[in-house]
Amino acid sequence: MTAHTEATSPEQLDNSAANDDVANNNVVNNGAETASATTDQDTPDNGVNLAAIFEHYFRPDDNTIVCGALDDEKVLALAKAGVELVINLQPDNELSFDESSAVEQAGMHYEHLPISGAADLKQLKILAFDNILRQNHGKKIAVHCGTGNRVGAAIALRAGWLRGRKMDTAMERGRSHGLTKLAEEVHNRLLVPR
């Protein structure tokens, strides 16, 4: 008999995976200095030091990269690092190049879900975001906006609204993914029952 309890329903499986995500984030966040010291040596990203390439860079787990705006050089770095999917939360008016083409030419898949700011942090957008993440579970992904702030906001709202996480847990998930300036807005939105 194993110590791990097996989940039997899809809802239990989802909750089990989400709990594992939270536990993994705690390990990654609590051991950040150790992980940083060994990351460059162990080269988990095919020898690419992504932290040196991106000004805004968060690594909540091994398969998730949260970063700021991309350019051609950053797209190629993500591809070399083994990223399979790029999720762009920037609206078109913030893009300075044809990101979709650059990502696809580099051999990665591309999803675009524009979130302009607080006004776009609605349940329908978060449901669409959740759908993309669920369809690509287990893949190495890069999610970006201008700085990571909107990514963190979407992650926190997903955790609170769709996963039923408590306020503190949802906010911590958001912060581990780049939530900063939108923290008060996200907190207030999480106070409203869904």
CATH code where residue 40 lies: 3.90.190.10
- Alpha-carbon span 25 to 78, nearest angstrom: 21
Q: pTM surpassing 0.85?
A: no
Q: Tell me, yes or no, whether 2 lies in a domain.
A: no
- Alpha-carbon span 122 to 48, nearest angstrom: 35
pLDDT, position 70: 98
Q: Tell me, yes or no, whether 4 lies in a domain.
A: no
Query: Which is it for strands 85-88 and 109-112: parallel, antiparallel or unpaired?
Result: parallel
pLDDT, position 43: 59
- Alpha-carbon span 6 to 11, nearest angstrom: 12
Token code pair at residue 130: 């959740």
Q: Tell me, yes or no, whether 77 lies in a domain.
A: yes
Q: Tell me, yes or no, whether 90 lies in a domain.
A: yes
Residues of the chain falling short of pLDDT 50: 1-41
Q: Tell me, yes or no, whether 1 lies in a domain.
A: no
pLDDT, position 24: 41
Q: Tell me, yes or no, whether 125 lies in a domain.
A: yes
Q: Tell me, yes or no, whether 22 lies in a domain.
A: yes
Q: Provide the residue range defining the domain that includes 160.
A: 10-191
- Burial grade of 134 (CB within 10 A; 0-12, 13-18, 19 or more): exposed
How many domains, in total, are found in the chain?
Answer: 1
Q: Tell me, yes or no, whether 5 lies in a domain.
A: no
Q: What mean pLDDT value characterizes the chain?
A: 84
